[in-house]
Structure 1
Amino acid sequence: MDMWEIPFLICFPLVVSVLMFCIRINKIRNAVAYVSAVIIMLMTGVLTVHWGMNGFAPAEFYVETELVDHFILGAEILLMLVVTFLSFKYNRPWVSLLSIVPTAVIAWLELEGPELDAISHIKVDHLSILMCIIIGIIGSLIVIYAVGYMHGYQHYHTEIPDRRYYFFMILFIFLGAMFGFVLSDSLLWIDLFWETTSVCSFLLIGYTQQEEAIHNSFRALWMNLLGGCALCVGIVYFALDQGTASLSVLVEQGTGQAPASVQVAIALIAFAALTKAAQLPFSKWLLGAMVAPTPSSALLHSATMVKAGIYVLFRLAPAMSGNMTGTMISFIGGFTFLSASIMAIAQSDGKKVLAMSTISNLGLMVACAGVGRPETIWAGCFLMIFHAVSKSLLFQDIGATENSLHSRDVEEMHGLLYRLPVLALFMFIGICGMFLAPFGMLISKWAALKASVDENNIILVFFICFGSATTSFYWTKWLGKLIAHTNRPPVRDITKKNEMISLSIHAVLMLALCILFPFLSSVYVEPLLMEMFSESNQVISNNVLYILIILICFFFAVPFLAYIYEKNVKTNKKLSYMNGINTGKNDAFMGSMGAEKELVLANLYFKDICGQRKLMNPSIAITTAVIIIMMCMIIASALGGGMI
C-alpha cells in the first residue's frame, strides 16, 4: 500500500511557506494561504479515508530512505546554525550549546556510529491519524482566521513592523513539521521535527521583536531545547545498545522486563515530553507565549506544539504502566493540573486564564499517560480532542473580542452576551466545552478519576478532585460575566468574515463532538486502545446519545433565556434598590455622603492567596525536586540491574 498523502502533507506546507515569504502583496498571499489551508484539510481527509479503505490497520512505510536521511541531517544542522546565529545576535550564546551539542551527537550517530537495523520510518495508526486530523483541521482553520486577524493586528499595532510574510511562513513550516512529527516512527526523524517545532515556536513568540517578546521567546527556546537534549541522549543510548532507532520497538521492548537502555531511554524521552507539554517546572514558556499575536497562541496552545508532548507520552504509555517512570509522569501531570488550576483563579486577563487552563488540562492528559491504563488513555484522547477544538475556539474568540472591545480583561466582558452577542455565544460554547456536561472534558475527567481509584492512586485522585473543583470555579466566574445583567452600551463587532468562518466551524465542531461522543468512542478510540494495549473497556455506552442531545438543548437555553430576560428588563425600565438614593439609573446610586457612586460588580480573584507570585516558584521547586530525585532513582535502578 502506497499512501502518497503522507509525503504531501509533510512537504506541501513547506513549499507554501516559501511562497508566503516570497509573496509581498497581501491580497495574493492571503489567497494562497486560504487555498493552501483548504488543500491541507482536504488531504487530511483523503489520508484518513485512504487508510480506512485498507481496513484501519496499522501500516508502515519507507524502509529505504538513505537520501531522505541525509536531507534530515542537513535540515537539523541548518536549524542548529539558525539557533546559534540568533543566540549570538541577541547576546545569549549559552542557548546555542543546547542545540550544538545534541546536533553534533546525532550527526556522529548517523555518520560515524554503528549501522542500525533497517526500520519503517513512517507509521500510520489510529493515534497518528487522530493527531493528523487535529493538526490538519484545527491548524488550517487557525491559518484562515490568521489572515483576517493579522490585517487588523497590523492596523492597530502600527509600532510593530508588518512582517506578515514572515509570520505565515512560520505557520506553514510549523504545520509541516507537526505532520512529520506524528507520522514518523524513526526516532531520528522525530528528533528533527521536534527541533523544528521548538524553533518555530521561538520565532512566533518573538514576532513583535519587542524586548518582552524576545525574552519570552528565548525562554521557550531553551526549555524546549533542554527537552531536545534529553530526547537526543535517550535516542543515542537506546540506538547504541539495541541497534535500532524505532519508536515502536522502544515501546514494545519497554513493556514487561525491559533492558536498562530501554528503561533509561523511556524516562529521558518522557522527561523531554514534559518540556514540550509545558508541565511544571517548564510551564513559564507557554505563559510567555501570550505576547505573540493570537493565532500563534491558538496554534501553540491547542492543536500543535503542546500536543506534541502529549502525543509522545501517549505513545510511551504502555511502557510506563506500573513503573517508576509512570509514577513520576503521573505525579508531575496531576500536580500541574491542580497547581495551574489554582493559579488560574487569580487571573483576570482572558488570554492568561486560557494559558493557565491549557497548562492545567495538559497536566491531566500527562497524568493519564503516566498511569498507562486503557481507561486513562481513553480519557486522555477525548481530553486532547475537546481541548484542541475548545481552546482554538476560545483563543480566536478572545482575539476577535479584543479587536472590538479593545480589552481582553474578563471584567470588561460584563454582559458581553448583549453587547457582542455572536462572539459571546462562541465564547459561551468554548467555555462550557471545557468543564460542563454534556461535553467530553467533564466525562473524560470522570473516566480518569475512576481509573485512578481503580489503580489505588490516592495522590492522583486528590489532584483530580481538587483540580476539577478549582477549574469549575474560574470558568464559572467567566461564564457568569458573559450573561450578567449590564447597562453598558453595545459594541460594534468588527470581526472579519474569514475570522467568523473559522469561529463558526469551531463552534459547530464542538457541538458535533458532543453529540457524536459515544460514536467516536466505539468506532475510533476503543480500536485505538486495542492497538496500544490489546484490550479495551467500554467507558461510555451508545445509549447516552439521546441524553446528550437533551442536555445540548438545555445548554442553549441558558444564554437564550438570559438574553430574553435582559431585553425584558430594558423594556420595563425597572430600577433596582442599591442601598442608597436611586439616581434614576441602574448603574449608580447616591451614597451616605451625598456623592454619586458607580455600581460595580466584580469577581473575586484572591491574587494575594493563589496568584502566580505566591504559588509559581514553590510549584517549580517541588516539581524540580521530584523530577531530579526520581530520574536519578530510575537511572540508578536501571543501570544497577533493578526493575523500575
Structure 2
Amino acid sequence: MGGCLLFLIPVLAGIPLVGAALIFLIQDARLRGFVIYGTVALMMLACLGLTGAWILDGSTPWLLYTHTELMDHLMQGIEILLMAFIIYMSFKYKRRWVSILSILQTGLAFWVEYSYPLQEATHTQVDSLALLMCVICAFIGGLIGIYSVGYMKSYHEKHRGVIDRSSTFLALLFVFMSAMFGLVLSSNLIWMYFFWEVTSVISFLLIGYTRTEEAIENSFRALWMNLLGGFGFAVAIWLCAMWNHSVQMDQIVSSANPMIIGMLCLAGLTKSAQLPFSTWLFGAMVAPTPSSALLHSATMVKAGVYLLIRLAPALNGTICGAIVSFIGGFTFIMTSLMAIAQNDAKKVLAFSTISNLGLIVACAGIGVEQTVWAAIFLMIFHSSSKSMLFEAVGATENSIGSRDIERMHGLILRLPKLAYVMGIGIAGMYLAPFGMLISKWVALKAFVDSGNVLLVICIAFGSASTMFYWTKWLGKLIAMHKPHTPDPDITRKDEYFSMAVLCVITILLCLLFPLLAGYVVNPIVLSLFGATTDVLSMSELTTMVIMVCSVLIVPAMMFLITRMAPRDIVPIYMNGINVGDNSHFIDSFGEEKKLHLSNWYLRFDFGRRRLLKPSQIVAASVLIVTFAILLGGVLA
C-alpha cells in the first residue's frame, strides 16, 4: 500500500499541472473545455484513490520521500525563476521595492539550504488534515474549474475591451491547484515554502488579468503582502535550521519555539488576509470571478488557516496564541461591520470571507480541541457556501451587467435559478441550523469555556452584524414591487452544473453533520492533539439534521403553493395615487414621482473609509509590540 501512496501523490499533483500545459497550448475553446472536464475528473479520481488507499492502510499518518535531491534542485531552479520574474515585473511597473522582499527571502532560503546541515527527514505527509485539504482543492476547486469554462466565454462577451487571454487564465487556475496539493502534503518547511511562494505569484498574475491600472495596483498590493509573509516563512526556516537543524513541521510544533512559531503565524496571517493585511483580498475582487471563488475563498486563503491549524497545539496558552486569537477575533468583528456598508456583492463576499477567516484564525489561536474542532467545520462549510456564492454573483453580473445588490431587486422572478443558488448560499452562511452557524456556536461555547471575554464579545457582535448584511441581501432577492420582467439569462450549462453540485454539497454537509463530525473532524483533532472529545453529542447532531430537513421541506411546500396560486400584481400604496406600474405615483401636488427602494448601508457609521485605517493601526501595533517582545526574549 505504501507503494500505491508513493505513486498517487505525484499523480495527484501532476494531473492539474499537465492539464494546465494542455489548456495553455490549446486555443480552440471547445476542445479546451473538454480538456478541463477531463483534468477535473482525473484530479477527483486521484484524490479519491489517495484517500481510499490511506484509509485501507489503517488511516495512520504517512511520512514519505526522504531522498529527493533531484526534486530539491528542480524547486531551487523554479525559485530563481520566480524571483527573476518578480524583479522583472517590479521594474517594468516601477515598483522596484517589491523586488527587495523577493530577493531577501529567496536568498535567505538558499543560504539555509547550503550553509546549515539538516537532519535527514521526510518531505511529504499524508494524514487526515492534509487529505481534507486535498478533497477541498480537488472537488471544490475542480467544480470552479468547470464553472470557469462557461464563465470566461460570457465574461469576454460582456467585457469586449479586455484582451481575451482565457487560455492563460484557465491554465494558471490549474497550476495553482497543483501547488495547493504540494503545499498541504508537505511535511517540512522548505517544501511548503516553495509551494507557498508559487501560490503568491499565481495570485498576483490572476488579480492583474485585465491589466488595467486598478488591476495592476491591486495585484502588486497582494504580491508584496504575501511576500512579506513569505519573508517571515523564510526567517522561520533559518531559525529552525540554526537552532534545531531540522525543518520538520511536527518537530516545530513539539518544540514550540516562540520566535519560530511567531514568524510562521505572521505568514499565516498574511496569507489568510487578516488585519492589517486584509486590503490585498479586497483588491483581488477586480479579477474574474473564478479566481475569487478558487483562490480567495476556497483554497489560497485556506492555506493560511491550514498552517495555523497545524500550529494550533503549540499556540495554546502562549503569547503567539494570544495574539493570533486577538487578531482573528478583531478581524472578524471589524470586517463584519465594514461589510454592512457594502452594496457591491463581491465586496460583501470579500469582507465576509475575511471575517470568517478571522473566526477560524481565532479558534486556531486558542489552540484547544474544541476550538480547532469548530475551526475545521468552519473551513469546510465556508469553502462550499462561499464558492457557490461567488459563482452565483459572477453569473448574475454577466446576465444583468451589474453586481450591485440594489440591482438584484426581485431576482427571484427575474433570474429564479440564480436567485435560488444565492438563497441557499446565504442561508448556508448564517441561518440555523446550517453548518456555519452551528460552528460559530461551538466556537462561542469554547471561548466561554476558555474564559476569553474579548473573543466572546467579538463573536457575539460580529455574528450580529453578519446577520444584518446577509438579511439585507436575502430580502432584496425576494422583494418585488414591479411587474414580472425577466432578464435574459446567459448563464451556461457548465456554470449551472458547478453551482448545482455545490448546492447539493452544501445541503449534504448539513444533513451528514454527524458523520462528518465522527469520521472527518474528530480524527483530525485526534491527530493534532492526541486526544479528542465529542464537542456536540450525537443527540444534538441528530436534532440539527432534523431541523435541516424541516428547513428544506418548508421552502419546498411554499414553492409548490406559490406555483399553484394566481400571480396577480397587486397595486401598492405609495403615499399617493399609484400610476399602475407599482413604480410611479402621483403626489399631493399632482406631480408624478418615481418610487425608489433601497437598503440602508450605514456608510457614515461603518464604511471602509471610517473603520479600515484605525483597524489596521490597532492590528499592526499589536503585531509590532509582540515581535519586539519575542525579539527581546531571543536577545536576552
Q: Would you say same fold, with TM above 0.5?
A: yes
2:229 matched residue in structure 1: 227
| Worse-matched range after superposition: 444-453 or 16-25 | 16-25
Write the mapping of 1:140-289 to structure 2, written as runs, cut at 5 A. Answer: 140-254=142-256, 262-289=257-284
Q: CA deviation at 1:413?
A: 1.0
Q: CA deviation at 1:541?
A: 2.5
| Worse-matched range after superposition: 329-338 or 91-100 | 91-100
Q: Deviations over 1:366-410 (max 9, x none)?
A: 000000010000000000000000110000000111111211111
Write the mapping of 1:591-602 to structure 2, written as runs, cut at 5 A. Answer: 591-602=587-598
Q: CA deviation at 1:175?
A: 0.4
| Worse-matched range after superposition: 226-235 or 558-567 | 558-567
Q: CA deviation at 1:92?
A: 1.0
Q: Deviations over 1:94-136 (max 9, x none)?
A: 111111111111112212x122001110001111011001011
Tell whether 2:502 aligns with 1:499: no
> Contact (CA 8 Å) 2:105, 2:230: kept in 1 or not?
yes
Which of residues 509, 528, 535 is equivalent to 1:532?
Answer: 528
Q: Deviations over 1:260-295 (max 9, x none)?
A: xx2211100101110000000000000000110000
> Contact (CA 8 Å) 2:511, 2:549: kept in 1 or not?
no
Tell whether 2:411 aligns with 1:416: yes
- State the percentage of identical aligned residues: 51
Which of residues 330, 333, 349 is equivalent to 1:335?
Answer: 330
Alpha-carbon separation, structure 1, partners of 2:597 and 2:549: 29
Q: CA deviation at 1:533?
A: 0.9
Tell whether 2:619 aligns with 1:623: yes
SS for the counterpart of 2:27 is coil
Alpha-carbon separation, structure 1, partners of 2:142 and 2:312: 29
Alpha-carbon separation, structure 2, partners of 1:466 and 1:107: 46
> Contact (CA 8 Å) 2:512, 2:545: kept in 1 or not?
no
> Contact (CA 8 Å) 2:271, 2:303: kept in 1 or not?
yes
Tell whether 2:478 aligns with 1:483: yes
Q: TM-score, normalised by structure 2?
A: 0.97
Alpha-carbon separation, structure 2, partners of 1:116 and 1:550: 54
Tell whether 2:85 aligns with 1:82: yes
Alpha-carbon separation, structure 2, partners of 1:574 and 1:425: 24
Q: Deviations over 1:578-619 (max 9, x none)?
A: 221232343322112212222222111000110001100110
Alpha-carbon separation, structure 1, partners of 2:606 and 2:559: 33
| Worse-matched range after superposition: 552-561 or 296-305 | 552-561
Tell whether 2:71 aligns with 1:71: no
Which of residues 302, 307, 312 is equivalent to 2:302?
Answer: 307
- The structure 1 segments of at least 4 consecutive aligned residues displaced by more than 4 Å after TM superposition are 557-570
Q: CA deviation at 1:77?
A: 1.1
Alpha-carbon separation, structure 2, partners of 1:549 and 1:379: 17
Q: Which runs of 5+ in 2 are unaligned?
A: none
Which of residues 268, 290, 295 is equivalent to 2:285?
Answer: 290
SS for the counterpart of 2:157 is helix
> Contact (CA 8 Å) 1:397, 1:423: kept in 2 or not?
yes
Q: CA deviation at 1:544?
A: 4.0
2:37 matched residue in structure 1: 34
Tell whether 2:452 aligns with 1:450: no
> Contact (CA 8 Å) 2:169, 2:206: kept in 1 or not?
yes
Q: CA deviation at 1:556?
A: 3.5
| Worse-matched range after superposition: 520-529 or 290-299 | 520-529
1:259 matched residue in structure 2: none
Tell whether 2:349 aligns with 1:354: yes
> Contact (CA 8 Å) 2:154, 2:490: kept in 1 or not?
no
Alpha-carbon separation, structure 2, partners of 1:619 and 1:22: 45
1:365 matched residue in structure 2: 360
Alpha-carbon separation, structure 1, partners of 2:246 and 2:542: 50
SS for the counterpart of 1:589 is strand
Q: Which runs of 5+ in 1 are unaligned?
A: 255-261
2:422 matched residue in structure 1: 427
Write the mapping of 1:5-24 to structure 2, written as runs, cut at 5 A. Answer: 5-24=8-27
Q: Deviations over 1:318-359 (max 9, x none)?
A: 001000000000000000000000000000010000000000
Q: Deviations over 1:559-588 (max 9, x none)?
A: 557657877886344322222123234332
> Contact (CA 8 Å) 1:434, 1:442: kept in 2 or not?
yes
Tell whether 2:63 aligns with 1:60: yes
1:258 matched residue in structure 2: none
1:471 matched residue in structure 2: 466
Q: CA deviation at 1:448?
A: 0.8
Q: Deviations over 1:37-59 (max 9, x none)?
A: 11111111111111111111111
Structure 2 counterpart of 1:522, one-letter code: G
Alpha-carbon separation, structure 2, partners of 1:638 and 1:517: 45
Structure 1 counterpart of 2:224, one-letter code: W
> Contact (CA 8 Å) 1:518, 1:540: kept in 2 or not?
no
1:551 matched residue in structure 2: 547
Alpha-carbon separation, structure 2, partners of 1:54 and 1:596: 76
> Contact (CA 8 Å) 1:206, 1:213: kept in 2 or not?
yes
Structure 2 counterpart of 1:548, one-letter code: M
Alpha-carbon separation, structure 2, partners of 1:53 and 1:569: 54
Structure 2 counterpart of 1:70, one-letter code: H
Q: CA deviation at 1:160?
A: 0.8
| Alignment coverage as a number of residue pairs | 632
Alpha-carbon separation, structure 1, partners of 2:93 and 2:37: 34
> Contact (CA 8 Å) 1:198, 1:225: kept in 2 or not?
yes
Write the mapping of 1:566-585 to structure 2, written as runs, cut at 5 A. Answer: 571-585=567-581
> Contact (CA 8 Å) 1:581, 1:589: kept in 2 or not?
yes
